[in-house]
Amino acid sequence: MSKYEQAGPGPDLSQTYFATGREVDHERARLERLAAEYDPWTQDWLSDVVSVQPGHRVIEAGPGAGSMLDWLAAEVGEGGEVLGLDLELRHTAAPVDPIRHRQGDVAAEPTEPGRFDLAYARLLFEHLDAPEAALAQFAAWLKPGGRLAVIALDCSVTRAEPGQGETGASFDRAVEVVTDALAASGLVDPVFGVKLPDVLAGLGLDAVKTRRFDRVLEGGSDWAVFLAENNLAIAAQLGVTGPAQIVADAMRRPGFRFRDQALVGVSAVRL
Ligand SMILES: C[S@@+](CC[C@H](N)C(=O)[O-])C[C@H]1O[C@@H](n2cnc3c(N)ncnc32)[C@H](O)[C@@H]1O
């Protein structure tokens, strides 16, 4: 059993989406910050591996604040179609052609089989209780030859950069406690990005390709402070606020350097 697969004595949050019940403006600001940080890398990746064309039909599951819906709409143009499917769409601006919205659960929503050229999602499937089944359901929206493009987290790489003494060592220990608690709770699978290529191959998808977004961050940078706050909010749900405070303090400290959680982008083709 890996350190991220244990069943622990903590809360069982496997049926919970972690942001449910959060104050609307706060959650919208969080989703907008997430998008601003990850959109440039995501758009480069999609342009390289998928090449969205004018007239294409695209579905995005879990669009959050909706910035990728807007980018996809500009790529497909007025003759195309962009469908945003989310449990709650109140963080997204009202849709304008060619964008449509549908409120629903990606794991349960009836599909329009064979309709779409691209099915795209970022930071969604690691939150679901049965991500493999949900991915199979998501792939069913695709026409034969259509592409699935999914981005998920790999938190196993988060650690202090070498040479930072006791601060670095205590950061690494505290990160492991929080990550283990996260995995044990079922709230998020913190290493789903690592599993994703095998999951897509196991669904019978073809031409599975992976690209990673790995980087080292400076403590006290805007993104590091955002991560620190996110970490504290999630740790409060898990009951591990002590270790999360150690992690957050280091992330907020100028001069401290650490490896960020990675994004793993995996694309595949429906046969
Ligand atoms: C962590 S946010 C990521 C938002 C956006 N994809 C991004 O990367 O900026 C996850 C999004 O998925 C949505 N979501 C969560 N569970 C879902 C489900 N079962 N079906 C559809 N959407 C879901 C949430 O409402 C939220 O908008």
3-state secondary structure of 263: strand
Backbone torsions φ then ψ of 25, nearest 5 degrees: -65, -40
pLDDT band at 18; cut points 50, 70, 90: low
Q: Tell me what pLDDT residue 16 has.
A: 63
- Does 64 contact ligand 1 (Cβ within 6 A)? yes
How many angstroms separate the alpha carbon of residue 62 from the centre of ligand 1?
3
pLDDT band at 17; cut points 50, 70, 90: low
- Does 150 contact ligand 1 (Cβ within 6 A)? no
Spell out the residues 6+ positions from residue 21 whose beta carbon is closer than 8 angstroms to its own.
none
Q: Residue 151: name the closest of 127, 122, 194 by CA.
A: 122
- DSSP symbol at 182: H
pLDDT per residue over 63-73, tens digit each?
999 999 999 99
Q: Measured from the CA of 91, which atom of ligand 1 is nearest?
A: 27
To test ligand 1's pocket by mutation, which of 17, 33, 102, 263 has the most ligand atoms within 8 angstroms of CB? 17
Helices (H) and strands (E) in the chain, counts: 7, 10
Structure tokens at 82: 């962009």
**CA gap 245, 59 in Å, rounded:** 38
Q: Tell me what pLDDT residue 21 has.
A: 59
**CA gap 213, 242 in Å, rounded:** 29
Spell out the residues 6+ positions from residue 251 whose beta carbon is closer than 8 angstroms to its own.
217, 219, 224, 225, 227, 228, 231, 258
Give the ipTM of the model, two decimals please: 0.99
Average pLDDT, the chain: 93
CA 222: distance to chain centroid? 19
3-state secondary structure of 216: strand
Q: Tell me what pLDDT residue 3 has.
A: 45
Please state whether 207 falls in left (phi above 0), alpha (psi between -120 and 50) or beta. Answer: left
Q: Tell me what pLDDT residue 15 has.
A: 63
- Global pTM reads 0.93
How many angstroms separate the alpha carbon of residue 63 from the centre of ligand 1?
6
**CA gap 268, 14 in Å, rounded:** 27
pLDDT band at 5; cut points 50, 70, 90: very low
Q: Residue 154: name the closest of 228, 233, 260 by CA.
A: 260
- Asked if residue 96 lies in contact with residue 69, where contact means CB atoms within 8 angstroms, the answer is no
- Asked if residue 14 lies in contact with residue 123, where contact means CB atoms within 8 angstroms, the answer is no
- Asked if residue 85 lies in contact with residue 107, where contact means CB atoms within 8 angstroms, the answer is no
- Asked if residue 58 lies in contact with residue 52, where contact means CB atoms within 8 angstroms, the answer is yes
pLDDT per residue over 68-102, tens digit each?
999 999 999 999 999 999 999 999 999 999 999 99
How many angstroms separate the alpha carbon of residue 106 from the centre of ligand 1?
9
